[in-house]
Amino acid sequence: MEGFKAVERQVRFGTARLAAAPYRANSLVLTVDGALQSYVDLSDPTRLHLPYTAWIARVLDLHWPAGEPVSALQVGGGGFTIPRYLAATRPGSPQTVYELDGPLVDLVRSHLDLDSVGNLRVHVEDGEEGIRRTPDATADAVVLDVFRAGAVAVHLAAVEFLREVARVLRPGGLYLGNTWSAADMTLPLRAVASLAEVFRHVVLLAEPGLLLGKREGNAVLAASDRELPHRALTAWAESTGNRVACLTAAQLAAFRGVAAPLTADDPADDVTPVPRWAG
């Protein structure tokens, strides 16, 4: 953003830095300890620069009729990119975000116009506890995008917590989770197995380089008790020039194998952190 002077602030999980995004007016990049957290376009909240946010948005767009308001819970706020997108594309959607890092929320509120996002409630508290307190069948979507600086919140992919997510979703509701994966894909494979213990339908979106074991990267997982728009997602993925692939749990198993689900008794081993952002 032209004329914006970068801001650094000590927040709960490290040093946050908010800086003008390169090559794009009125856009800002948020990092914590060098790990990229969010890219926010203040002029156009529907412009999603980070690929994984576009994947999440596409699943949301295809799971319900266009423009239809949805009730959404999100664990992890960052720059609140997805809540901004939902507010712009589905006006009237009631949204609640749980973000544990209070100083980070203050930073975003001060510089990223957070209070302008309609129908948004922000709770500075542990999202796991927030979900556990949520009444049954009260949300259309639950979105998990939780990192502590570059550390992945693996415990939120465990079967026990996913059962809580399923409990708060209405029939036909949608789970969406973003994670970071090493090239071996151990974590996404285990997360898919966890979701399959709880939901009837599961798909994974990732770049081909990750699926082929050639590089690390983001993986987005979607799940529901009703059929997901896999055919439409696949057609969309092909239209991007195959920059992303969408696989069902069965297709992923045939391509990369299977792994044990994550549980409280069988948690993840060391997990590859998100690398520092090169700018």
Where are the chain's structural domains? 45-256
Which has the closest alpha carbon to 174: 64, 46, 54, 51? 64
Q: What is the pLDDT of residue 2?
A: 61
Non-local CB neighbours of 218 within 8 Å, separated by 6+ positions: 51, 52, 178, 179, 180, 181, 206, 207, 210
Q: What is the pLDDT of residue 25?
A: 85
- Note the pLDDT tens digit of each residue in 69-116: 999 999 999 999 999 999 999 999 999 999 999 999 999 999 999 999
Q: What is the DSSP letter of 42?
A: S
Q: What is the pLDDT of residue 278?
A: 64
Q: What is the pLDDT of residue 279?
A: 63
Q: How many CA atoms lie within 13 A of 153 on its CB side?
A: 18
How far, rounded to the nearest angstrom, does the alpha carbon of residue 32 sit from its chain's CA centroid? Answer: 16
Which stretches in the chain have pLDDT values below 50?
none
Q: Are 58 and 100 in contact (CB under 8 A)?
A: no
Secondary-structure class of domain 45-256 per CATH: alpha beta
- One-letter identity of residue 52: Y
Predicted model pTM: 0.96
CA distance 41 to 34: 20
